[in-house]
Structure 1
């Protein structure tokens, strides 16, 4: 059938081409005015447009120029007004067979003078060129150059002229393609032309006389390049497609696209698509290239990729057309069209009885769908034989095998053989007519020597609380599953939180060992649990549970839990308070309670508004603030109860909180209580002892310091007739008057500072600060790179990179100790460095300098004396004068 269709198509194509060969479609030539109004008819019913002499008849006309349109009868007219000199366009004629034919229309302008009067050419107002636009075929064959057309101007009648051309194809790319005989006006082409590169050429021709003057307007020349079928079709776009397997026939897979470089809308670009293989699986539309599934049996498991070869041929698939062939790839995606299949028809396995949470067996399956997808992954279930929930199925994610697990142990004596049915499914539904598959599995249960079994596994007993010890409340026996009897089985208690029950070892009797109390915290919802172990001769054990449901008796009386109550009174208003009682028994041994005032009631109180578990205690008359004891008799429904004392504190209301009065704050003595008062007394005693300890520490005297007698002075200040001690003695000597405060070289407010004195060989400074009722002397000495600063009272070393610690507000004793330490250090230093730079500080005896020395004293202190007066030292009194004589020394500068 397919071969017949191909033969008919080839025959039709041959007929069409023969008809086309017999048709001679020439251009439509028309002379029109230069100015064409809208609706101007160019031609009517030309035989060129009606395909006269051709086998086919025209059915549609299309103009490639938007300024012109064509009616269904072949009449050409203008769409809008325009002005032309020459005009060329094409009309595309479609015949009844679907073929397209192109007819060129060439318009030329009539002479305006002839249009008005119909006179001869010598009456023309304007000169014009001839001939009309023309065409050439691409890829023409040699030899070249080839003459194309002769151009001429009417001005050649009156002038000796020559012609010149310029523009595209002449002096612009492609240069030199067209040449012109300047004398004759013959236009020639020098080589083949490619229409796909240059579909037309536009240039101009000019005419000049012998003097080089242009004798006519330039002529625009258009050379249209006629197409030849010189390009084969080419594939473009996507060439990989995807479709699901088992898709319906007619499912669109995709569209194959192709193109042709030849002139559009001509037979040269009329492409036909043809499948070269896989014609049983796919089909393709010959003219749109849409690829569809031809069957619904596409199977990915048989072939997941299909390589389809397609031929594309122009000329509508005619044998003379050019063609190309290419391959497209159709990927078939997976669907779940294959169920998991079992490798065996029957599976067998074995398990020991009483085993739990063990892997019994592995069940392998096969699935042809894509691996590791939901279409391939298997889900297993036990569809028969698992009514008691003994088994569980899982899937091994790596092997896709089914794993059968035992959840609850089996009993060999009851079921020695278990028959199961295993069903395998996928994670997604199955597509197609296939069904899920199942397989039978026989599971053999192995026998074991089992321990005794209690029957029932949980024994329920009802017992009244407070039953007498030794009472037998029941018997709990176990049976050996092997011989079905209870002989030689012994019983032992495993758990009994309150040790309330004893188990008779040989008989399994349960006897009361201690008081059974329903109100015990060991009892939950009136039930008490114990567990019992049974042991046979082979030391196999079994376990059972006994749940004792305890029945209530009236063994508890109601009590008032809060016996210390606070009653808030408001002026003269009688106050009341709610009294509540509780009973650990259950009805009818508890509520409703009976409330009565005790026999010792003093008549100040009364009861009202009694409920099941509470009563309101109210003042019978106004009473002062204080604490009152109120006897209240509380009995349960059975009349079981006793009298209880309630302590009520009556106080004045300070404020209300949510409608309840709040008492004011009590005094310290009443609110703290005995323990609070004792704590306050102990705290006071502790503070007193701490104060005494601090006083004792602060008043303790310091240890006396040892003063060396190496100097021979015995520690006393001696008046010396020598000239003066050395400079170092002067600078280090201290004069402290109690009352002066100095901290880190600074004074308190109200201080006055004197000037420093500087000499050439070193810096010596002495400052006096007055304030706070005393005088403070500071001395700064600088020898070379060493600088010493002394002020107030010092302790520790001064010389040899040592640091002296400063104290303020020193007493007389501290001053003596400080000076003693200072002198000891300095004398020891002089003993080591007597030839050093401080040798001038040694005590020396000077001779008489003589009388009448014009220079006066050479000591530097004389200069100080001139600048600063020390007369204020005379006012210090006799006790301070020896000390002042030592502290005030004469500064001297040595060479």
Structure 2
């Protein structure tokens, strides 16, 4: 097996074949071998004595024929008649060299692309052909024409050796509808031996048509920067934006503000002409820049929308007076001398005038009369507070308020009055503060140490007495029987009965059957509550029914007695210090002032000389009915 590059010169060595002969070379020509070619002419030849096979034909082309079979004969006896011979076959392959340029199969290529295509989009593929193989067939594509060189780009696919045409930047149908490119293809690796054969490249025309599409409006600028004074009134025009429909129909454009970029609705835009105007007042110190976005959309197609960023700078106006740079509270020693500096002050102003701030300081005119201090301007935006006299007394005056007027250098000039507090303090010889509380000194100036101890002792004794009284009151309140004996807190269980009674026909709220029938009452169940003698004087015995003409027996007297009794009980509960602070229930049980027959006791009956009138029994029903009606009424007082 052998190979030789194609297009090799005549006589190029291909391979050497060697034959052996077992005869003894020292006896005549028996072992003398001569080589000859039996097959493979006229392409190859062999040297008779060496067996070297060489090319015998000029310009053998691999693309025409790649493989050759060559038969070589070796014959002894120096090739003479009667000699013995043997043959071998040599397979020779022509290896490839780069002797063929790449060629486009067609001279013109046509592609199309929509104008909305994004950069990087593939437009088409070009494939040149090369008869060489392997490394010799690698190609490179490039755009050689000026037209379209910056708009389009072509690259080589290493696997397929194709030229891939892509979009480098946007195209516009309204600007140019057809782009004509000239594309050249070259071999990557050239063989200098074959340059004389001609140029090893090829060219083709590529035409790219741009397809029209409905595009959104296009702004004249990619962004806008505007300026407005912070003192500008509402309605002031800040600036204007401009956009137009790039399509041939030139649809009208409508403008609006993206509200998610202007949540406070400070700015707005006229829909027809794109003028941006002020909708609210501005404050540079609060927000010096406003960044909004303005939309432009076609009237005929609301889906075609474009946006542009707009930055609005708020220009400064001198609208803030200067104030102290920080809170100042200084002191002056009692032994201070006149002209002594006690404080250095400075100012600040949120405004930012061109060239910087220039502050001036002076004492307020109303404080110049009988002034104790003065203000000296340092002409560097600072000032000093100086004393005007010697000696200050805490007992006479513990604090001074110094009004300082600070003005800026803006136009118009603004000023403000700031108050500096100066305390009078006791200092040592070096001017270090020792004590500034004049009130505490005045209170303790005339008291000795023993007097202070006595005052403190008296205070302690008073506190102990107060604690003892409170403790006794708490114990008394704990021992007092609760008004309602229950495991649950009355405050958590409040029941309201709002029944004022329905008169004599009301039998739902009260069962007064027992009251109407005195005989049904058991003696053991009758309450024997008696009003305290200290609060009520004994009532005189009731006269017989005949004593009051035209009235029910005992009715007038009993009504007054019950009212007095209830009023007295209410007064007792209202004035009771141990009563609970919340609404509670109080039980009032009144036995009455006695019967019309006075006492029913056997002792009193025996002591009586005369006969008793027992007609009073017929009067019990109406009397107890009235009593039940009185107790059944609703009272809004807490102790009722």
Shorter-normalised TM range = 0.3 to 0.5
Q: Which is greater in Rg?
A: 1
Give the number of the structure whose residues are more often helix, by fraction.
Answer: 2
TM-score of the superposed pair, with normalisation by structure 1:
0.34
TM-score of the superposed pair, with normalisation by structure 2:
0.45
Greater relative contact order (Cα 8 A, min sep 6): structure 1 or 2? 2
